[in-house]
């Protein structure tokens, strides 16, 4: 039997083990409380970072200048942090937080672009070093630190500094639209397409209307081409055939390729068939969107892209126009002419936000196509053997520039309820004497007539051109839904242009070195010329749909991206 002393020693051992166990459990509990407190504070800090970044990114959807945007972002981030229990300093700072720095929240504007490997690091894809002259920020990075006290002992001391980071992306609403004569006139643009390509485009009305209502994004085109980035897509040179194949395949309209290019494929001529074009020639992307990745989801109209590409591919080639009734007989006065169509400036499709630059210009602007009609008019006034006058008049009928500025965007949850406000300015038609190349008005004196007396040349008539009238005719504010288009017209353009030609001729009679102003004496000789001009212009507007004095605007797509956490 064990002695009483033995039992006493055993009871003492049990008490010691129990004490150690209780102490261990208690210490573990205390440590767990500290760990739980750290994790709770970390979650709360991450919540502050997320909500502050989202709140700041929402401000990027407004069309303000950079200084205003930065101020709005800072105020919004500060308010969101305060509302979520963060009371430390909030600053605008893009430097990384150094270890041991004072607690605070830092907000930074920058570009988030995961499609561009050169933009930031490979994890965050965020770059605070962007060029504000060419792009706008599309993301807000928030870095926040907070030092929390430890109730009990954990490795690291009596307190621990926690940190959290969030990046939220959000860009201003972006729209794509196009402007031009024949570019978006979908009742006749298919005939213009055939004229530019030099072949018979065999698209049916249903097929063309289908292309006119179809959109394709830069993202679709990038994937179809296999380009790594949007920039690579924009700068890849393609033949007209390859470009059409790219657009139609990306839009799921492969079956229309043969009909769009004709059979055999395009007959553009020696220069045109060798033209290689890029998307950057067709799209106004200079200061487009906050980042190239933001543009990837904006819809571009398929028919507009095909037609604009045909303008570019035509290059410097002129298209012979088989215009009927190019002969006018007024008895004693007769006139005839040849005509050709040239592309002075290709049209562009604009994509971007409704934002005004410090100089007053609007950031997103589309220019209409400038089309030139080259006319070489030959006229004769025949009074028999006694007196005869021959006129050779090289004339350029030109659509002066039209412009469309994106001045406002209205977002809505339903795409059909979104609206774009565009200010469209149209100009008068220019008619002037042309240079030898037939593409520009000439400022130089030009011999236009020769007078014969008894079949012997006795004198000549020289025109002294004045500067053509290019004053803006009108400016209208239009608000359009996606997929709709409208026309802005100038009713006085044709007669105004003809009058401008007459006024700019300033003809003088050259007699033995002397120059005698003719004034109204040349009116009778010009009557058949002016009649011929009206015939040609009327035929062009009625048959080809080349409404040279009109501006047609089409809003293709409006993209209203919401802010979201991307890191």
User: In this predicted model, what pLDDT tens digit does every residue of 485-534 receive, in sequence order?
Assistant: 887 766 555 555 666 666 666 666 665 555 655 555 555 556 666 666 66
Q: How far is CA 426 from CA 132, 369, 370, 469, in A?
A: 31, 12, 12, 13
- Write out the H or E segment, with its range, that includes residue 232: helix 230-234
- Average pLDDT, integer, range 384-397: 78
In this prediction, residue 296 carries a pLDDT of: 66
For CA atoms 54, 55, 61, 65, the dihedral sign is negative
List beta partners, residue 558: 175
3-class DSSP state of 117: coil
In this prediction, residue 276 carries a pLDDT of: 81
Confidence band, pLDDT 50/70/90 cuts, at residue 63: low
- Average pLDDT in the chain: 75
Give yes or no for residue 387 having a pLDDT over 90. Answer: no
In this prediction, residue 322 carries a pLDDT of: 66
- Average pLDDT, integer, range 114-119: 74
Backbone dihedral region for residue 483 (phi beyond 0: left; psi -120 to 50: alpha; all else: beta): left
Backbone angles phi, psi at 366, to 5 degrees: -115, 145
Give yes or no for residue 405 having a pLDDT over 70. Answer: yes
In this prediction, residue 479 carries a pLDDT of: 93
> 457, exposed or middle or buried, with CB in 10 Å at 0-12, 13-18, 19+?
exposed
In this prediction, residue 288 carries a pLDDT of: 47
In this prediction, residue 267 carries a pLDDT of: 66
Quick one: which of 300, 279, 289, 286 has its CA closest to 346?
279
Q: How many CB atoms are closer than 10 A to CB 368?
A: 30
In this prediction, residue 532 carries a pLDDT of: 65
Quick one: which of 334, 337, 342 has its CA closest to 435?
342
DSSP 8-state code for residue 268:
-
3-class DSSP state of 414: coil
In this prediction, residue 481 carries a pLDDT of: 92
Mind listing the pLDDT tens digit for each residue in 416-426?
A: 888 999 998 87
Q: How many CB atoms are closer than 10 A to CB 321?
A: 19
Q: How far is CA 12 from CA 8, 9, 19, 25, 192, in A?
A: 6, 5, 11, 20, 106
Q: Report the distance separating Cα 364 and Cα 348, nearest Å.
A: 11
List of E strands, 275-386 = 276-277, 283-284, 299-301, 319-320, 327-329, 333-345, 349-352, 365-367, 370-382
> So where are the chain's domains?
12-169, 174-565
Residue 207 tokens, joined = 């097929």
In this prediction, residue 250 carries a pLDDT of: 92
Quick one: which of 192, 235, 486 has its CA closest to 343?
192
Mind listing the pLDDT tens digit for each residue in 250-303?
A: 999 988 888 888 766 666 665 555 678 888 888 876 444 444 555 667 788 888
pTM of the complete model beyond 0.85? no
Give yes or no for residue 237 having a pLDDT over 70. Answer: yes
- Average pLDDT, integer, range 475-484: 88
């Amino acid at each position: 039997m064990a002695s009483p002393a033995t039992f006493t020693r055993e009871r003492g051992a049990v008490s010691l083990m129990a004490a150690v166990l209780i102490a261990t459990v208690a210490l573990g509990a205390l440590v767990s409380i500290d760990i739980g407190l750290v994790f709770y504070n970390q979650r709360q800090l991450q919540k502050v970072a997320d909500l502050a970044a989202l709140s700041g990114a929402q401000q990027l959807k407004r069309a303000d200048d950079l200084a205003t945007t930065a101020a709005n972002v800072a105020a919004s981030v500060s308010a969101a942090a305060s509302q979520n229990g963060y009371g430390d300093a909030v600053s605008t700072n893009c430097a990384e937080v150094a270890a041991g720095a004072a607690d605070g929240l830092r907000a930074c504007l920058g570009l988030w672009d995961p499609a561009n490997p050169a933009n930031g690091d490979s994890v965050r894809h965020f770059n605070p070093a962007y060029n504000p002259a060419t792009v706008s920020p599309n993301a807000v990075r928030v870095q926040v630190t907070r030092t929390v006290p430890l109730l009990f002992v954990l490795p690291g001391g009596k307190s621990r500094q926690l940190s959290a980071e969030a990046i939220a992306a959000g860009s201003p609403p972006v729209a794509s639209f196009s402007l031009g004569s024949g570019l978006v006139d979908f009742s006749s643009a298919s005939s213009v397409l055939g004229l530019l390509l030099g072949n018979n485009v065999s698209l049916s009305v249903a097929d063309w209307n289908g292309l006119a209502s179809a959109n394709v994004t830069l993202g679709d085109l990038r994937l179809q081409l296999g380009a790594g980035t949007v920039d690579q897509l924009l700068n890849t040179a393609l033949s007209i055939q390859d470009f059409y194949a790219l657009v139609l395949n990306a839009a799921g309209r492969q079956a229309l390729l043969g009909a769009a290019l004709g059979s055999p494929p395009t007959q553009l001529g020696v220069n045109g068939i060798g033209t290689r074009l890029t998307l950057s020639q067709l799209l106004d992307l200079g200061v487009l969107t906050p980042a190239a990745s933001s543009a990837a989801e904006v819809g571009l109209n398929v028919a507009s892209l095909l037609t604009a590409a045909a303008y570019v591919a035509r290059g410097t080639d002129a298209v012979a126009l088989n215009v009927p009734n190019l002969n006018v007989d007024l008895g004693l006065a007769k006139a005839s002419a040849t005509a050709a169509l040239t592309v002075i400036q290709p049209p562009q499709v604009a994509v971007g936000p409704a934002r005004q630059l410090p100089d007053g210009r609007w950031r997103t602007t589309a220019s209409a196509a400038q089309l030139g009609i080259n006319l070489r008019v030959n006229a004769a006034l025949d009074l028999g053997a006694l007196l005869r006058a021959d006129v050779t008049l090289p004339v350029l009928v030109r659509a002066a520039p039209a412009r469309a500025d994106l001045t406002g965007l209205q977002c809505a949850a339903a795409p059909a309820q979104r609206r774009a406000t565009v200010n469209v300015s149209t100009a008068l038609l220019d008619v002037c004497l042309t240079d030898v190349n037939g593409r520009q008005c000439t400022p130089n004196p030009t011999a236009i007539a020769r007078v014969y007396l008894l079949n012997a040349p006795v004198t000549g008539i020289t025109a002294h051109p004045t500067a053509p009238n290019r004053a803006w005719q009108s400016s209208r504010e239009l608000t359009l839904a996606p997929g709709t288009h409208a026309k802005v017209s100038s009713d006085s353009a044709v007669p105004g242009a003809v009058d401008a030609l007459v006024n700019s001729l300033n003809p003088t009679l050259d007699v033995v070195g002397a120059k005698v102003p003719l004034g109204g004496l040349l009116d009778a000789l010009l009557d058949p010329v002016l009649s011929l001009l009206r015939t040609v212009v009327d035929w062009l507007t009625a048959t080809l749909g080349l409404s040279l004095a009109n501006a047609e605007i089409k809003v293709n797509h409006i993209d209203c991206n919401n802010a979201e956490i991307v890191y």
